[in-house]
Structure 1
Amino acid sequence: MSSEIAAEDGLRKPLLHTGSWYRMAGMGSRQSSIMGSSIQIIRESISIFLCVSIVALGPIQFGFTCGYSNPTQADVIKDLGLTISEFSIFGSLANVGAMVGAIASGQIAEYIGRKGSLMVASIPNIIGWLAISFAKDSSFLFMGRLLAGFGVGIISYTVPVYIAEIAPQNMRGSLGAVNQLSITIGIMLAYLMGLFLPWRMLAIFGTLPCLVLMPGLFFIPESPRWLAKMGMNEDFETSLQVLRGFETDISTEVNEIKRSVASSSKRTAIKFSEFKRKRYWYPLTVGIGLLMLQQLSGINGVLFYSSSIFLSAGISSGKAATFGIGTIQVIVTGIATTLVDNAGRRILLLVSSSLMTASSLLVAVAFFLKDVLPESSHSVLEILALAGLVILVVGFSVGLGAIPWVMMSEILPVSIKSLAGSVATLANWLSATVVTLTANMLLTWSSGGTFTIYALVSAFTVAFIAMWVPETKGKTLEEIQWSFR
């Protein structure tokens, strides 16, 4: 038994690396307490922002993977002699890999920690992109896409959880929203670099986020809540002290986390019948519901096939308009990150889903009218469709893009977080796959009808948020968990 524990520690310890320089910095800070509380706040912010900036490379990789297939389709098909259906398989294999990664993500993140999980995710990502860049036929292309998707599936669960677990309660929403901001930056980078780089070079460029992430992980502390759960009390307190500033009194937060961990570890196994209790089924319903509705609103259908949607609306410069949409998404998501902790999660979700309902209806009306009105009025309808698509992306970026991931990491109970988080992430990727596989067929059937369906889903999302989703702004993770009891 002791040899098993030693073997586990042997695997975990190199990945923890809370680092001796933190302790040295701590000694120095205690000797210079004369510098006052303002310096302490700056030190705390730098520590938190450094951690978030490094792990944000993961979602940049996530976004780059999603965006890669948009600018490369014609060149890959030409160079490797693929059919349209083979390239569609290539595009969707990232989702398949991500679903497998999502299933494994919770257990990996529990066993070797949040940092270890990101390290594991980086390796198949890098191998996958190299396989794509050197592909001579579809087999290497498909294998590379699956491997990159697997890494993305792990990243999509681990990064929001890590950020939620290290952030102070008054900054958790804004810092959590950085996850979605980074995804949009990754998508925009793929669109932008795709205008200048051939597809093989673009794939090599895709290895960079994880190549920087891997060494960066050694310079940030592990999640204090995970360390506490693993019984690594010295590392837990060191990690928390680093994150909060060496002059900060962390005793209250230490006791809260210890109490939460103690209550969750009394029962190591949860029976299926216990999911009838509100403390389990309610947060699980909210978490899975938000992550599914985020995708079923049709956003991936719009982002993946934006160029063809623009062309069918009569807008000739589809690629330029797509890059414009990507840029708008980054800007609005950046603004939204500053609002999450001030306005609150719930109000932003309601505004977001309401805007998406109205804009989807606007696009649907523009397409329906295009079929019945004379050609002289088409220029007005093109502007209407473009405005609708821009509002749709703005609406998504305001809330529904970032906040479901933030809330998933906040509301799931510690005792079922690994299993429930994996299920919620899997549900998100399944929904994304359904939308990306059906969007092209639906748009071929009826563009107006497609956006009517998306509008109905968005309207249901408004009702779901109004009736089910609680406000978590300003509460500690432990307080949120207690509120479901």
Structure 2
Amino acid sequence: MTTMLRQYMRDVSPFLLVLVIISTLGPLQFGYHIAELNAPQDVISCRVPKSSSSKLAATFSSWTSHSSPNHASASATFPSCIPMNDAQFAVVSSMYNLGGLIGALAGGPISSTRGRLFAMRLTGLFFASGSVLLTLGTSITVMSMGRILAGVGAGASTVIVPIYISEVAPPRERGTFGAMTQISINVGILGTQTLGFFLSSESTWRWIFAIGIGIATLQILGLLVIPESPAWLATHKNVAQAKRILQRIRGRHYDIEEETAAWDSGTASPEEEPLLDDSQPPLNPPGPRRTSVSSKGSRNPGSHLGFFQVVRDPQYRPALVAAVGVMASQQLCGINSIIMYSVSLLNNLLPISSALLTIIVSAINLFTTIACSPLPDKLGRKTCLLLSIFGQGASALTLALSILFGLKILSAIAVLFFVAFFAVGLGPVPFILASEMVGPEAVGAVQSCCLGASYITTFLVAQFFPIINLALNKRFGGAGWVYFIFTGLAVLCGLFVMWRVPETKGKKDADEVWGRTRRLD
């Protein structure tokens, strides 16, 4: 342990920590915006007029009064709520995922052609403009546009930031730093849920969105002082500048020769390092690389395949199906039904405030993600996925039954276990698998497909969960029936993982994962 800590201290410079903190403000805002409507839902949609007695709410309310001396005029311009039924609120909520899909599909190509830094700065502008519209929104249309713009920034961030971190992190520490994306998402969720608990009142709910403007501004300013990815610069024929930046990131006395050897040979590629790689050897020595043997011949190590090339090639099709299926399973098992709708769903069903429970849920999500981050390396990716899926399925079944029979304590426990099991596998593993099941020439296209599937399924859950939940409750009476659906989906997702997803732990490359023959080029 002492040796590992000493190695970590040698590899990680203070400047690297600054880069990671600033870059992960993007994923943090992904989590912040995905949950921002949860706590204040009833207040925003004019269902429950509510005032808060908390000191924080009183402070923000006082600031609002001071900044708007003509209170009557301000109230007319910015109404205290926006009338919405369940379907309309679902539209506003799900627009975020539509924007996320657009951002995820566009983020990769922009970061490849214009650079990681340019793309991250662009996400900051989308976050800021989306937060402004949400803060000043007076109609469903304006709120929806704000959610779309924030979603574009979030979708692009989930593509770009993991790539940037993997390219600036030391080779030995990429697994550890790769987990920072998921951790920062959970920090954002916890932050917005906590603010929602204190600021969900008629006079203060807009401050939840206004704080998002502040975070986006901090991100934009921070991105003005951090450098471009050295790996991206090296692949665009700026090797000398790339080496200078990498030396600055690693520290003055760090030997970067072995890490940059491939740059001098002109064979390096930014996508050759997996997005969240935690299974590669400590350092990649220069020399011949292994490539897959397919019916179409071996791939050029510097080439990159597009989406349609990957879909048409039977060599990559099993990996594409497995990776997309796992990413879809992440959402179909129902985690966002808790993250996005827990306050309204669990209201009056639990022995404590549903908003307070949501804060506890978000905190558990954060800490279990941190605690469980070593498990995929110890138990295996597939084992963690199955444990997570069937654990969530059992928790969903328990939650459905406990709500139906009025077992409030059991309902609260089921919610907590639901989130904890998500952190075991479905949270981190889907982001790892794509880079381990295909070679470097196809990882970009497969990862884009995975994120596209994630946002589509998230959109479906956000759009139809409240509608289906309300319909089932009216049809059968009571509440909680929708979680029987998530139980069934968990069973189907578990069977899919058992039959179609290979174990990638300890495998050197994609050829070994799929049992293909290999040769040296």
TM-score, scaled relative to structure 1: 0.80
Q: Which runs of 5+ in 2 are unaligned?
A: 47-79, 273-298, 474-478, 517-521
- Specify whether residues 256 and 384 from structure 1 end up closer, same or farther in structure 2 by C-alpha distance, changes over 3 A only: farther
**Could you tell me how far apart the structure 2 residues matched to 1:348 and 1:279 are?**
26
- The correspondence for 2:23, drawn from 34, 55, 62, is 55
**Could you tell me how far apart the structure 2 residues matched to 1:121 and 1:425 are?**
16
**Could you tell me how far apart the structure 1 residues matched to 2:209 and 2:344 are?**
23
- The correspondence for 1:382, drawn from 408, 422, 447, is 408
Q: Does 1:290 align with 2:322?
A: no
Q: Does 1:428 align with 2:445?
A: no
- Specify whether residues 126 and 168 from structure 1 end up closer, same or farther in structure 2 by C-alpha distance, changes over 3 A only: same
- Specify whether residues 242 and 39 from structure 1 end up closer, same or farther in structure 2 by C-alpha distance, changes over 3 A only: farther
**Could you tell me how far apart the structure 1 residues matched to 2:456 and 2:256 are?**
41
How far is the alpha carbon of 1:439 from its aligned partner?
A: 1.5
Q: Does 1:405 align with 2:431?
A: yes
Q: Does 1:94 align with 2:120?
A: no
**Could you tell me how far apart the structure 1 residues matched to 2:243 and 2:378 are?**
29
Query: How many residues get paired?
Result: 437
Query: Matches of residues 197-212 of structure 1 in structure 2 within 5 Å?
Result: 197=199, 198-212=204-218
How far is the alpha carbon of 1:255 from its aligned partner?
A: 4.1
**Could you tell me how far apart the structure 2 residues matched to 1:339 and 1:267 are?**
33
How far is the alpha carbon of 1:150 from its aligned partner?
A: 1.3
Alignment RMSD, CA only? 3.1
Query: Matches of residues 329-368 of structure 1 in structure 2 within 5 Å?
Result: 329-341=365-377, 343-368=379-404
- Normalized per residue, which structure has more helix? 1
- Specify whether residues 122 and 299 from structure 1 end up closer, same or farther in structure 2 by C-alpha distance, changes over 3 A only: same
Mapped contact 1:173–1:473 kept (Cα < 8 A): no
2:114 counterpart residue number: 112
Q: Does 1:392 align with 2:418?
A: yes
Query: Matches of residues 237-256 of structure 1 in structure 2 within 5 Å?
Result: 237-255=243-261
Mapped contact 2:168–2:249 kept (Cα < 8 A): yes
How far is the alpha carbon of 1:441 from its aligned partner?
A: 2.7
2:12 counterpart residue number: 44
How far is the alpha carbon of 1:434 from its aligned partner?
A: 0.8
Query: What amino acid is the match of 2:129?
Result: I
Query: What amino acid is the match of 1:396?
Result: F
How far is the alpha carbon of 1:274 from its aligned partner?
A: 5.8
How far is the alpha carbon of 1:325 from its aligned partner?
A: 1.2
Q: Does 1:236 align with 2:242?
A: yes
- The correspondence for 2:195, drawn from 193, 200, 204, is 193
**Could you tell me how far apart the structure 1 residues matched to 2:241 and 2:45 are?**
51
Query: What amino acid is the match of 2:93?
Result: G
**Could you tell me how far apart the structure 2 residues matched to 1:392 and 1:411 are?**
28
2:223 counterpart residue number: 217
Query: Matches of residues 138-177 of structure 1 in structure 2 within 5 Å?
Result: 138-177=140-179
Q: Does 1:310 align with 2:339?
A: no
Could you list the per-position Cα deviations for residues 265-300 of structure 1 after superposition, in whole angstroms to 9, with x for gaps in the alignment? 654665946645465324333332221110011111
- Specify whether residues 221 and 303 from structure 1 end up closer, same or farther in structure 2 by C-alpha distance, changes over 3 A only: same
- Specify whether residues 269 and 436 from structure 1 end up closer, same or farther in structure 2 by C-alpha distance, changes over 3 A only: closer
Mapped contact 1:131–1:141 kept (Cα < 8 A): yes
**Could you tell me how far apart the structure 2 residues matched to 1:77 and 1:154 are?**
29
- Specify whether residues 416 and 110 from structure 1 end up closer, same or farther in structure 2 by C-alpha distance, changes over 3 A only: farther
2:40 counterpart residue number: 72
**Could you tell me how far apart the structure 1 residues matched to 2:369 and 2:267 are?**
35
Query: What amino acid is the match of 1:296?
Result: L
How far is the alpha carbon of 1:427 from its aligned partner?
A: 1.0
How far is the alpha carbon of 1:249 from its aligned partner?
A: 3.9
- Specify whether residues 44 and 152 from structure 1 end up closer, same or farther in structure 2 by C-alpha distance, changes over 3 A only: same
Mapped contact 2:90–2:466 kept (Cα < 8 A): no
- The correspondence for 1:453, drawn from 485, 496, 503, is 485
**Could you tell me how far apart the structure 2 residues matched to 1:271 and 1:119 are?**
26
Report the more deviating stretch, 419-428 or 339-348. Answer: 339-348
**Could you tell me how far apart the structure 2 residues matched to 1:466 and 1:242 are?**
45
**Could you tell me how far apart the structure 2 residues matched to 1:271 and 1:213 are?**
31
Query: What amino acid is the match of 1:42?
Result: R
SS at match of 1:171: helix
- Specify whether residues 39 and 460 from structure 1 end up closer, same or farther in structure 2 by C-alpha distance, changes over 3 A only: closer
Percent identity, please.
28
How far is the alpha carbon of 1:471 from its aligned partner?
A: 5.1
Query: What amino acid is the match of 2:430?
Result: P
Query: What amino acid is the match of 2:26?
Result: G
**Could you tell me how far apart the structure 2 residues matched to 1:149 and 1:469 are?**
29
SS at match of 1:69: coil
1:6 counterpart residue number: none
Mapped contact 1:287–1:407 kept (Cα < 8 A): yes
**Could you tell me how far apart the structure 2 residues matched to 1:468 and 1:242 are?**
44
- Specify whether residues 311 and 270 from structure 1 end up closer, same or farther in structure 2 by C-alpha distance, changes over 3 A only: closer
How far is the alpha carbon of 1:48 from its aligned partner?
A: 3.8
**Could you tell me how far apart the structure 2 residues matched to 1:40 and 1:189 are?**
29
- Specify whether residues 256 and 473 from structure 1 end up closer, same or farther in structure 2 by C-alpha distance, changes over 3 A only: farther
- Specify whether residues 425 and 310 from structure 1 end up closer, same or farther in structure 2 by C-alpha distance, changes over 3 A only: same
1:184 counterpart residue number: 186
Query: What amino acid is the match of 2:239?
Result: N
2:362 counterpart residue number: 326
How far is the alpha carbon of 1:43 from its aligned partner?
A: 5.3
Query: What amino acid is the match of 1:225?
Result: A
How far is the alpha carbon of 1:474 from its aligned partner?
A: 6.9
Q: Which runs of 5+ in 1 are unaligned?
A: 1-36, 371-377
2:134 counterpart residue number: 132
Report the more deviating stretch, 126-135 or 75-84. Answer: 75-84
- Specify whether residues 49 and 382 from structure 1 end up closer, same or farther in structure 2 by C-alpha distance, changes over 3 A only: same
Mapped contact 2:90–2:464 kept (Cα < 8 A): no
Could you list the per-position Cα deviations for residues 359-399 of structure 1 after superposition, in whole angstroms to 9, with x for gaps in the alignment? 1222233245x2xxxxxxx4xx2222221111010001222
SS at match of 1:415: coil
1:7 counterpart residue number: none
Mapped contact 1:351–1:395 kept (Cα < 8 A): yes
How far is the alpha carbon of 1:237 from its aligned partner?
A: 3.2
1:83 counterpart residue number: 84
**Could you tell me how far apart the structure 1 residues matched to 2:138 and 2:453 are?**
34
